[in-house]
Structure formats: structure tokens, C-alpha cells
């Protein structure tokens, strides 16, 4: 039977990278302040603002998911390491 090898450092590294990526997903809404004047059309500006809102909602959902994935990877690393300590202490 093959041994299962878990690399806790790799899991923690993945958790760090994924958690960091979550912060980088935020979208800047500052562009929407002067759309009416720049585009010359309030209808087009409104459509762009609505699309921007949808994108921000989606980006927030992705960021939240990435934070959960990062937390799960970190928790898995901790659980595997704790189990290894218990098993090695009991032998």
C-alpha cells in the first residue's frame, strides 16, 4: 500500500497565494463618476454603471470563495500536521 504524503508547507503556500489573490480581485468604481459627461449619453452611462455593479458583485463573490478556499487549505495543513504529531507520539 502506498503512503499518503501531505506537504503542509505547500498547502500553507497555496492558502497564502489564494488569500492574497482575493484582495486583488476588487474592482475600482471611480471610473463611473463622470460617465455621463464623458460619453454624452446618460443611457449608455447607466448601462455601464449597471454592468459595473454586476461585475463588482461577481468579483466580491469570487473573492469570498477564494478566502474560503485559502482557509480550507490552511485548516487542512494544520489538521494533517496535528494528526502526524499524534501518530508519531503514540508509536
Return the pLDDT at 88. Answer: 86
The pLDDT of 64-87, averaged and rounded, is: 92
d(CA 37, CA 81): 58
Q: What is the CA radius of gyration of the chain?
A: 22
> Is pLDDT at 83 greater than 70 in this prediction?
yes
Mean pLDDT (the chain) is 86
42 versus 91: which is more confidently predicted? 42
Return the pLDDT at 29. Answer: 72
The pLDDT of 46-61, averaged and rounded, is: 90
d(CA 23, CA 10): 21
Return the pLDDT at 90. Answer: 63
Distances (CA, A) of 30 to 5, 12, 26, 33, 34: 48, 35, 12, 6, 9
Q: Using alpha carbons, select from 27, 11, 89 the residue that is nearest to residue 62.
A: 27
Amino acid at each position: 500500500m502506498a503512503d499518503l504524503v501531505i506537504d503542509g508547507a505547500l498547502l500553507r503556500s497555496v492558502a497564502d497565494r489564494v488569500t492574497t489573490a482575493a484582495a486583488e480581485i476588487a474592482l475600482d468604481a471611480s471610473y463611473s463618476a463622470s460617465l455621463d459627461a464623458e460619453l454624452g449619453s446618460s443611457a449608455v452611462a447607466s448601462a455601464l454603471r449597471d454592468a459595473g455593479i454586476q461585475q463588482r458583485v461577481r468579483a466580491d463573490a469570487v473573492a469570498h470563495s477564494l478566502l474560503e478556499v485559502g482557509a480550507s487549505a490552511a485548516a487542512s495543513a494544520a489538521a494533517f500536521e496535528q494528526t502526524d504529531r499524534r501518530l508519531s507520539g503514540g508509536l
